[in-house]
């Protein structure tokens, strides 16, 4: 097979398109011909050598991919040659103590495609049968490769971690981002009213189109002022925060008593000031999102494939052009997912 690989850490130019041996199909595995593979920021860290993860070279990235089954192991049932499928980007070992307690999300030996084993930047991927998720048709490939991480993260944060219910009001900061944009839609699907912030006024229309009821630019209007005006001074019931950074305290302070702030990212800053007195005075809770469960991932994929939650695709590249795709992602001008595709 051919694959986009790297054999040394460095800039996008270390990615090469090269011939490798085809993966062997284990008895409990299938071989998938990958047709679409989503890029993630962590791919850039892996390639640059800044992920702290020790890769063996050459390495094949690609956590989220979809394609057609082309070989089926001897012990595999219910999956046939030609089936359109995707795979859990990370799957539990099935045998550790956490897995035995029906908590695969707490598995001590998670396997992540593109990190623990070769992923979807290749023509062929070996996939354990228990990691396979069936799709309806090849029309689903690009959406499935784009949506799994973004939608399942947003859905789990809104529905499971923040436990948002109908009639509540949710604040989504920097809502033009991938997970945040999906969180706007997930909160709306949950029956909540959504207040969203953006960093630039020209992004407002796109966020409003996702279903946000109120959109404000945090560079023009302080968070406290915008939220007070939108909620009659009451505050929001939950914040779905993907940014961290200097506004973390403002987001926390924008919550009504018993408010829940869920965090999953910190591109705007990893260490934030926290007034503990305010936290317990209002009964606020700060909650970390860790991973989505398999059930949440399947539900999220179904919503993305049905169009209930839309994940915009900014641009596609041929898998052979993975270096160009990485360089493009490094520019950080994209809005939506970047997806590698192959014929």
Site of interaction with Zn ion (CB under 5 A): 92-93, 96, 99, 107
108: which 2 tokens?
Answer: 């001590």
Instruction: Write down the least CB distance from residue 88 to Zn ion, Å.
Output: 13
Hey, how many other C-beta atoms are within 10 angstroms of the C-beta on 280?
Answer: 8
**93 or 308: CB nearest Zn ion:** 93
Instruction: Write down the least CB distance from residue 153 to Zn ion, Å.
Output: 20
List the one residue out of 130, 136, 3 whose CA is nearest residue 73: 130
What would the DSSP string read from start to end of 23-75? PP--TTEEEEEEEEEE--HHHHHHHHT-S---PPSSB---SEEEEEEEEE-TT
**131 or 303: CB nearest Zn ion:** 131
Instruction: Write down the least CB distance from residue 105 to Zn ion, Å.
Output: 10
**97 or 209: CB nearest Zn ion:** 97
The two beta strands, 285-288 and 255-263, are parallel
Instruction: Write down the least CB distance from residue 100 to Zn ion, Å.
Output: 8
Q: Are the CB atoms for 319 and 37 separated by under 8 Å?
A: yes
CA 35-40-45 angle, to 5 degrees, is: 125
Instruction: Write down the least CB distance from residue 90 to Zn ion, Å.
Output: 11
Instruction: Write down the least CB distance from residue 115 to Zn ion, Å.
Output: 16
**99 or 279: CB nearest Zn ion:** 99
Q: Give Cβ neighbours of residue 66 (< 8 Å, ≥ 6 apart).
A: 34, 35, 36, 37, 84, 85, 86, 120, 135, 140, 141, 142, 144, 145
**92 or 303: CB nearest Zn ion:** 92
**92 or 297: CB nearest Zn ion:** 92
């Amino acid at each position: 097979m051919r694959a986009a690989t790297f054999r040394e850490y460095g800039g996008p130019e270390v990615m090469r398109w090269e011939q490798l041996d085809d993966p062997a199909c284990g008895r409990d595995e299938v071989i998938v011909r990958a047709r679409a593979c989503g890029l993630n920021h962590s791919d850039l860290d892996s390639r640059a050598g800044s992920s702290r993860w020790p890769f063996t070279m050459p390495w094949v990235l690609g956590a989220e991919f979809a394609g057609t089954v082309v070989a089926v192991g001897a012990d595999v049932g219910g999956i046939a040659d030609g089936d359109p499928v995707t795979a859990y980007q990370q799957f539990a070992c099935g045998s550790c103590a956490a897995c035995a307690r029906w908590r695969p999300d707490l598995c001590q030996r998670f396997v992540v495609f593109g990190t623990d084993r070769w992923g979807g930047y290749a023509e062929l991927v070996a996939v354990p049968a228990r990691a396979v998720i069936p799709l309806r048709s090849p029309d689903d490939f690009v959406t499935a490769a784009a949506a799994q991480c973004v939608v399942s993260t947003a859905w789990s944060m809104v529905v499971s971690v923040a436990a948002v219910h109908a009639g509540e009001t949710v604040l989504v900061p920097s809502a033009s981002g991938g997970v945040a944009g999906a969180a706007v839609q997930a909160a709306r699907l949950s029956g909540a009213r959504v207040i969203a912030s953006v960093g630039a006024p020209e992004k407002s229309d796109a966020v409003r189109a996702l279903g946000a009821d109120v959109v404000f630019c945090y560079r023009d209007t302080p968070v406290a002022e915008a939220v007070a005006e939108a909620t009659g001074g009451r505050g929001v019931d939950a914040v779905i925060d993907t940014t961290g950074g200097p506004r973390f305290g403002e987001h926390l302070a924008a919550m009504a008593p018993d408010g829940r702030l869920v965090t999953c990212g910190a591109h705007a800053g990893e260490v934030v000031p926290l007034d503990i007195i305010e936290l317990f005075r209002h009964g606020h809770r700060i909650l970390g999102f860790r991973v989505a469960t398999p059930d949440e991932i399947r539900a999220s994929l179904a919503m993305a494939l049905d169009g209930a939650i839309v994940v915009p695709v900014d641009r596609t590249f041929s898998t052979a052009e993975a270096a160009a795709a990485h360089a493009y992602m490094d520019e950080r001008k994209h809005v939506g997912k970047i997806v590698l595709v192959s014929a």
